[in-house]
Amino acid sequence: MSRKKQIAATDPNRPRLTTSAMIASLAGEDQRISPAPFGRALVELGRTRPEILGLTADLAKYTDLHIFAQAYPDRFYQMGMAEQLLMLAAAGLAHEGFVPFVTTYAAFASRRTFDFISQGIAEEGLPVKICCALPGLTTGYGPSHQATEDLAIFRGMPDLVILDPCDALDIEQAVPQIAAHPGPVYMRLLRGNVPLVLDEYDYRFELGRAKLLRDGADVLLISSGFMTMRALETAKLLAGDRVDVAVLHCPTIKPLDTATILQEVRRKPRLVIVAENHSVIGGLGEAVATLLLTEGAIPPRFRQVALPDAFLDAGALPTLHERYGISATAMAARIKAWLG
């Protein structure tokens, strides 16, 4: 190791990334947070909706469903480490008139239970709400738990609504709306101390709608999930370099709000970038690119900020986000390079 690296590694003032950083909140150091928005929203919904149930595959604590279990123990089902059983049990309960909310990790739902969701839930049009933690690169525990391809897997399933909310406000407002939707829903879930950012932009979640959070003349950033938070941070960073960035938040991946996306792309000639916490293959980026190509709305330039088509490393999240280019600083540097 070089002398410079030795000094950096032993510097007592340098923040030390420990194992706990792998499962830490995505919130920045002084960022506002809201604890367990999914669990709290589901408890509130359950007060007036006795048909709402909660089911999980041994992950109630790690998906914030334990809050619902404490409030309504007679409406909570712990299915053990049996994700396929989890999905078919939810399907059976839905057939009997209940509205089950099922939770597990996104990697397990997409990889282990696809056929059971397709045949037992989606084909039947059942109102099962599949809410899954650790989407994309939100854990440092390596490829076994990093669901970097879940959107690609699920986008091809007919009649399945797919959501990728940004923050606590998005999640809280999405829960009652997906409960009201008559069919199946897959929602990526942020858990624990979830950042709160969208309330600063006069935002309200609407199922199937994209929302322009800020306008800008140079760049149009179309984003979903926590990458909308990163997009807003990036826009503030670039404002210091006189780069004007618009941010269009798309929490509903399917059905895509094609009208709003086309309207914003056609409104003025700008560099169009899709930013997502997902593989560069099969997610929001490809959905938007296909839309623009088929509708003839070709922007001057189109780029993607996404995870590589690879099994990612394990490690602390801040390090991984910087390495794979989805931190605000990494995004800002890439955008300046693309603008020349």
- Domain 33-195 and domain 208-339, same fold? Reply is yes
Structure tokens at 72: 């309504």
Between CA 299 and CA 148 the distance in angstroms is 27
Beta pairing partners, 102? 55, 130
pLDDT band at 22 (very low <50, low <70, confident <90, very high): very low
Q: Which residue has the higher pLDDT, 25 or 12?
A: 25
* Residue range 209-218: mean pLDDT, rounded: 98
CB atoms closer than 10 angstroms to residue 220: 25
Q: Per residue in 296-311, is it b (16+ CB within 10 Å) or e — as a string?
A: ebebeebbbbbbeeee
Residue 6, pLDDT above cutoff 80: no
CA angle centred on 194, ends 147 and 323, rounded to 5°: 50
pLDDT band at 29 (very low <50, low <70, confident <90, very high): confident
Between CA 108 and CA 110 the distance in angstroms is 6
Average pLDDT, the chain: 94
Reply yes or no on domain 208-339 having CATH 3.40.50.920. Answer: yes
pLDDT of residue 1: 39
Between CA 124 and CA 95 the distance in angstroms is 9
pLDDT of residue 181: 98
Q: Cβ distance 288 to 320 under 8 Å? A: no
Residue 134, pLDDT above cutoff 70: yes
% of the chain surpassing 70 pLDDT: 93
* Residue range 206-220: mean pLDDT, rounded: 98
pLDDT of residue 30: 86
Q: Tens of pLDDT along 181-197?
A: 999 999 999 999 999 99
In the chain, domain spans: 33-195, 208-339
- Torsion angle (degrees, nearest 10) of CA 139, 183, 89, 84: -40
pLDDT of residue 2: 40
Q: Tens of pLDDT along 68-77?
A: 999 999 999 9
Kindly give, in sequence order, each residue whose CB lies less than 8 Å from that of residue 9, ignoring residues fewer than 6 positions away: 1
* Residue range 108-124: mean pLDDT, rounded: 98
Residue 23, pLDDT above cutoff 90: no
Architecture of domain 33-195: 3-Layer(aba) Sandwich (3.40)
Residue 213, pLDDT above cutoff 60: yes
Does a cis peptide bond (omega within 30 degrees of 0) precede residue 269? no
pLDDT of residue 103: 98
Q: What is the pTM of this model?
A: 0.93
Q: Tens of pLDDT along 254-301?
A: 999 999 999 999 999 999 999 999 999 999 999 999 999 999 999 999
Structure tokens at 71: 């409030």
pLDDT of residue 28: 82
pLDDT of residue 13: 64
Residue 83, pLDDT above cutoff 80: yes
